[in-house]
Structure 1
Amino acid sequence: MDADFSLSDEEKKFFHQNGYIGPITVYSPDEMERMWKTVQRETLDRSYAAYQDDAVSGGTNIANYDRHLDIDLLAQHVCNARIVDRVASILGPDLLCWRTEFFPKYPGDEGTDWHQADTFANASGKPQILWPGETEEDFGAGTITVWTAFTESTRQNGCLQIIPGTQNKMNYDETKQMVYDESRINSEEKDGVTRGFFGYDYRQLQIDPDWKPNEEDAVPLVMEKGQCVIFWSTLMHASFPNTTTGKNYRMGFAARYVPTKVRVYPNTERVEEYGGSIPLDNYGAVLVSGEDRYGHNKIARETLRGTPFMKRDAE
């Protein structure tokens, strides 16, 4: 019988109070190092990638979204029982992975602004996920993000920070638009830390322009390679700059989960954000646990190379 990695009652209580839990060990450091070396090599082959170069516009990280759809080790990762069982403890047994993203931070890179994400509409003005009862004008649930350290993540090389308990109130209006300004990259100190948001300024979305996050309550999430943190996307989160030199980069990999009742990319055929645009022709959400009783979303049953996704059966 498969092991059960569901959260305990005490862990669930902690999560609901604080909006996060972790670090949690998914792989040993040696396992993660071997896995990342293979994945790193395989990302160079884009012949099966969901978003082909000739269909992607803009020079942003958006081209490398959803590589779990063509790289088998990443497909196994988003279905890993050590992750899925814990997320299902929070969201219920019928569960989709709807997006993955790499988050590199190289020596000299700025930190990431404090921010929250609800419908992920902040870059395009159009919600990318909608829970039942939500509309493009009325929303407020978010997604569960599982951020895994593919390399060691330290204060010096740019680890995550979170502010516990901030997940239930949005301090930002995602219907507003941010304005790209390349000159902001690696140039602006905010409360003594060089932070930005890929050339954007998240403060432009603040509901109260004079509000500031309480950094005294911030918790740094230092992680060994192979560990993850699970958190609501509406939790206030940021990262430190990478102040190291040489080759000490930090690589995070975020997998995002919602229940099957949530509509993913409603009424759109492209994702447009942060200056990039990708078509959704080859996209499919992955059913990682349980059943899809709603039929809202296109489901990918196997990778674009033909490898079946290993779904967890709900009990």
Structure 2
Amino acid sequence: MSQFSLTPTELADFQRNGYAGPFTLYEPEEMADRWRQERLKLLDRSNAVYQDTEAISQGTNISNYDRHLDNAFLAEHIARPEIVHRVASILGNDVICWRSEFFPKYAGDEGTDWHQADTFANAGGEPQIVWDEDREYGGTITVWTAFTEASTETACLQFIPGTHRQMFYDETKGMHYDPDANRSKTKNGVARGFFGYDYRQLQIDPDWSPDESKAVSMEMRAGQFIVFWSTLMHASHGHAGKTQEMRLGFASRYVPASVHVYPGLSEIHEYGGRISLENFGCVLVSGEDKFGRNRLLSHTTTGVPIGKS
């Protein structure tokens, strides 16, 4: 067993609930100091792998994808043993990181609607990850790190435990992007949305709705992370605006090295923008790549080694 692997009890709980944690990676003061330094560096996109001006100028979500491929701190973060050992205890030893992205919530922002992700075709219509094993569903292991404090007042995550083994959405249906559309409303009247999409368009049963009575709120201190299946029903509270401090989460996503990433795709089209995959590559963070299905990067665009040491 590796130093930070999930214990048998933690693994059994994860298999039942679909998530594990929170775990502490940085102390709050350390996280605040590191983010204070890195947020200014990230404003410089000259070395980012995605340079599409349309996506960037429109401020679409895909403009913040994969900054671990040019930022040294994020490159180190996605391969931290505290994260990788736990992920490998779920997925097996041969693991790649295929994506990272930021999730900010500002004062007054609505909550993120309930959703699941299997192939991540939900926004663009084309599968972005494909498992070739005989599995009922695929998905990715998401490691969501709180770069700032995340509470119920500042838009922390919510999970519905045990929902990771059944898909309630059909990603092949596709969704219509309209950032100016009316916000969706849950049964209790809480404003929720999904970055310009109405996730309810993917429901297999149009009359179904998530059982929010079973939802748990995942409050985290800055520097803590949670590990969960992307197929787990998850959402977030809204930012109540009682503080003007932004809530910021950083998600890194992992799959076995056998999974096909962006099969047959040269671009990603979603959230009202598009980016070229010409400079994209996955990062091997554990074990070996015995399959050769995905382009792997060993260094960031600035020459910093990335991945397993």
What TM-score does the superposition give when structure 1 sets the normalisation length?
Answer: 0.94
1:165-202 Cα shifts (integer Å, max 9, x gaps):
000000000001211233336x4432221101112111
Q: Does 1:94 align with 2:90?
A: no
Q: 2:120 matched to 1:123?
A: no
Question: Which residue is equivalent to 2:186?
Answer: 190
Alignment correspondent of 2:166: 169
Question: 1:260 corresponds to which residue?
Answer: 257
Structure 1 runs, 4 residues or longer, greater than 6 Å off: none
Q: Percent identity?
A: 56
Partners of 1:55 and 1:47 lie apart in 2 by: 15
Query: 1:113: which partner in 2?
Result: 113
Distance 1:88 1:188 in 2: 37
SS of equivalent to 2:213: helix
Match of 2:33 in 1: 34
CA distance in 1, matches of 2:252, 2:86: 13
Query: Is contact 1:106-1:249 (8 Å) kept?
Result: yes
Deviation (angstroms), 1:281? 1.0
Match of 1:210 in 2: 207
Quote the residue 2:12 is aligned against: 13
Deviations 1:11-46 (A, max 9, x none): 000000000001111111111111111221111111
Note if 1:48 corresponds to 2:47: yes
Q: Which amino acid counterpart does residue 84 of structure 2 have in structure 1?
A: V
Instruction: Determine if contact 1:119/1:139 at 8 Å carries over to the other structure.
Output: no
Task: Give the deviation of 1:139 after TM superposition.
Answer: 6.3
Q: Secondary structure of 2:250's partner?
A: strand
Q: CA deviation at 1:249?
A: 1.2
Q: Which runs of structure 2 are paired with 1:265-284 in the superposition (5 Å)?
A: 265-284=262-281
Distance, in Å, in 2 between the alignment partners of 1:251 and 1:31 is 15
Tell me how far 1:273 sits from its aligned partner: 1.3
* Contact 2:121–2:174, Cα closer than 8 Å, also in 1: no
One-letter identity of the residue aligned with 1:67:
R
Ranges in structure 1 where 5+ consecutive residues have no aligned partner: none
Aligned residue pairs, count: 307
User: In structure 2, what is the Cα distance between the partners aligned to 1:99 and 1:273?
Assistant: 15
2:175 touches 2:199 (CA, 8 Å); kept in 1?
yes
Q: How does 1:132-151 map to 2 (within 5 A)?
A: 132-133=132-133, 140-151=137-148
Quote how far apart the aligned CAs of 1:66 are.
0.1
Residue 157 of structure 1: aligned partner: 154
Shift of 1:56: 4.2
TM superposition shift of 1:8: 0.4
Give the Cα separation in 1 of the matches to 2:26 and 2:234.
24
One-letter code aligned to 1:161: Q
- Partner AA of 2:147 in structure 1: F
Deviation at 1:245, TM superposition (A): 4.3
TM-score relative to the length of structure 2: 0.95
Any stretches of 5+ residues in structure 2 without a counterpart?
none
The answer to whether the 8 A contact 1:159-1:220 is kept is yes
- Measured after TM superposition, the shift of residue 226 of structure 1 is 0.3
Q: Work out whether residues 263 and 297 of structure 1, in 8 Å CA contact, stay in contact via their aligned partners in 2.
A: yes
